[in-house]
Structure 1
Amino acid sequence: MISIKIAYLGPPGSYSEEAVKNWDSTAELIPVDSIHAVAKCVSDEKVDHGMVPIENSIEGGVTSTLDLLIHDFDLLISGESVLTIKHCLMAQSNLDISEITKVFSHPQSLGQCRNFLNSILPSAELIASLSNSKAVEDMMNETDLTIAAIASERAASIYGSTIIKKDIQDNLNNETRFVLLSHSDHIATGNDKTSLCFEYGEDAPGILSESLREFASRDINLVKIESRPNKVDLGKYVFFVDIEGHRTEGKVIEAISVLETQVSKIKILGSYPNQ
């Protein structure tokens, strides 16, 4: 039996890798060095799917993922996976926290540990990495033993680092939602979610609320709404929306059909089982 190939933000030990393992433990995992590279691997058909983070319960939307879905690739979301995130502070050896001068980690993780870093390591230099596991890998290659990293317990095990403190995230209920990028979305299951984005040609009072009313009037629950710059005109935005229901359901078809008459651009990003 040939296993499917799933690209993820690597190297091994990242939370993205864990999300892939939770999704399909039999898949062949393909680590790449950026979220954009994950999408490109799928787009170029080098892999079957790609797993990317899309939002966090503390830091909100992952803008690089939102932007590539909106602007850069014609891919569809075919699934989602929610992962509980537990951050660990680690170093090459068991040094005292007061000795730490720099901390490597992904920007989202630094944000998720902001209160801890401000109160416990106020003088430490925070350095952004491409991923949490890459932060650990880079830290372990440094000659400066006062550098620490923030990543998962599994990353510490893979790269042989010493955990100084566990569960340093500001909120113990820290969760990240990942989505599976594919060339087709999922068939209807009866408990689904649909993602879409749209923008307006001209601004007007109440224009957004009028559009959202098309969902509410049909008893379609709006799960998420977020705006991103349209990358053309200052002050113009693309709205990213998640709704309950599958794009093939009658009431969803009706709502989207009316929405198409109100907006200048609309893009259906896929329907998939609601987790």
Structure 2
Amino acid sequence: MSEQRKIGFLGPAGTWAEEALHANVPLAPGETRPYPSVYDVIAAVSRGEMDEGIVPIENSLEGSVSATLDMLAFEVENILISREIVHPVRHCLIARTALPLGSVEKIISHPHAHAQCRRFVRDRLPRAETEAANSTAEAVKIVSGSEKCWAAIGSRLAAENYGCVVLSDDIEDHADNQTRFVMLATDEAPQNLDRPYKTSIVCAIAHDQPGSLLQILQEFADRDINLTKLESRPSKKGLGDYIFFIDMEGKKDDKAIAGALESLRSKLASVKMLGSYPQG
């Protein structure tokens, strides 16, 4: 009898990460475990405590999740993206019991959720204080245990899990709000699936000089490789020093991509493979 796989997710129960996992991955009872932060999820996979983990990496409204990018770039060397999942996000305003919006004194949520619902909060709850939480589900959990006139921004699943009520739904500023999640593992994704693939890398230049970024991009343009993401992040070495996250369509072993990566490795200070995996 094979051992049951273990999948960690950003918790507590009721986060968008858990909802995306259940909506896209067949799961057996007891197969998942919540962790309090992105760091904890990735660290658990890295040390072998979990077989896989799911974390948010990018939102269509607020952009990249810096905690995830920084962990993949700087903190772990044995983790690869094995799959991506794109999941719609429909935020709700949630309270312990029904109450008028005008009586809400504080709104608690993850900073990305606050930002994704900025217009609703500004127009409907202009006097409410805002407070950050590690996740939307943690915010709902906090509200569920308080008798004060507090509300949380989170999922309907979280409201159900913690016995709360939805005061207003679909409060995000744009209806097509989506979050891209990545499944992480210590083994690379199977490369023989009949599906479109994406390859992700992070690279660094040796010295800042005119045309450095162009030299990187030219390797992909010359080979007709379509880039789906290009983002700079601080290298942690000083102001003005950056690393570059690049996503591209195709598998790492495709002739064009393999050639581009080989050329970049000969020119750049570092090129780190983050994964070659099925697209969401």
TM-score range, shorter chain: over 0.9
Q: Which moved more, 1:1-10 or 1:89-98?
A: 1-10
Q: Does 1:218 align with 2:223?
A: yes
Q: Which moved more, 1:20-29 or 1:155-164?
A: 20-29
Partner of 1:106: 110
Q: Does 1:180 align with 2:183?
A: yes
Alpha-carbon distance, 1:125 to partner = 0.9
- Structure 2 Cα separation of the partners of residues 108 and 60 of structure 1: 9
Which of 94, 104, 125 is residue 129 of structure 2 equivalent to? 125
- Structure 1 Cα separation of the partners of residues 258 and 36 of structure 2: 38
Q: Does 1:80 align with 2:84?
A: yes
Q: How does 1:1-275 map to 2 (within 5 A)?
A: 2-27=3-28, 28-74=31-77, 75-144=79-148, 146-188=149-191, 189=193, 191-275=196-280
- Structure 2 Cα separation of the partners of residues 225 and 206 of structure 1: 16
SS at match of 2:151: strand
- Amino acid in the other structure paired with 1:169: E
Which consecutive aligned stretches of 4+ in structure 1 deviate over 6 angstroms post-superposition? none
Alpha-carbon distance, 1:31 to partner = 0.4
- Structure 2 Cα separation of the partners of residues 218 and 270 of structure 1: 20
Q: How many equivalent pairs are there?
A: 274
Alpha-carbon distance, 1:23 to partner = 3.2
Q: Which moved more, 1:168-177 or 1:114-123?
A: 114-123
Identity percentage of aligned residues: 41
Question: Any idea what the Cα deviations from partners look like across 1:193-252, whole Å, max 9, x if unmatched?
Answer: 000000112111121122111111111100101111101121101100101111111111
8 Å CA contact 1:77–1:180 kept in 2: the answer is yes
- Structure 2 Cα separation of the partners of residues 174 and 93 of structure 1: 27
- Amino acid in the other structure paired with 1:73: V
Provide TM-score, normalisation by structure 2: 0.95
SS at match of 1:168: coil
- Structure 2 Cα separation of the partners of residues 213 and 193 of structure 1: 19
SS at match of 1:261: helix
- Structure 1 Cα separation of the partners of residues 101 and 246 of structure 2: 42
- Structure 2 Cα separation of the partners of residues 23 and 76 of structure 1: 19
- Structure 2 Cα separation of the partners of residues 19 and 73 of structure 1: 24
Query: Which runs of 5 or more residues in structure 1 are unaligned?
Result: none
Query: Which runs of 5 or more residues in structure 2 are unaligned?
Result: none
Alpha-carbon distance, 1:187 to partner = 2.4
8 Å CA contact 1:76–1:269 kept in 2: the answer is yes
- Structure 1 Cα separation of the partners of residues 230 and 125 of structure 2: 35
8 Å CA contact 2:204–2:270 kept in 1: the answer is yes
SS at match of 2:200: strand
Alpha-carbon distance, 1:121 to partner = 1.2
- Structure 2 Cα separation of the partners of residues 216 and 115 of structure 1: 39
- Structure 1 Cα separation of the partners of residues 127 and 146 of structure 2: 20
Question: Any idea what the Cα deviations from partners look like across 1:86-141, whole Å, max 9, x if unmatched?
Answer: 00001111111010110010111001001111111122111000111110101111
SS at match of 1:227: strand
8 Å CA contact 1:52–1:178 kept in 2: the answer is yes
- Amino acid in the other structure paired with 1:8: F
Alpha-carbon distance, 1:73 to partner = 0.8
Question: Any idea what the Cα deviations from partners look like across 1:55-82, whole Å, max 9, x if unmatched?
Answer: 0000000000000000001210000101
SS at match of 2:166: strand
Question: Any idea what the Cα deviations from partners look like across 1:125-173, whole Å, max 9, x if unmatched?
Answer: 11000111110101111131x1000100111111111111000000010
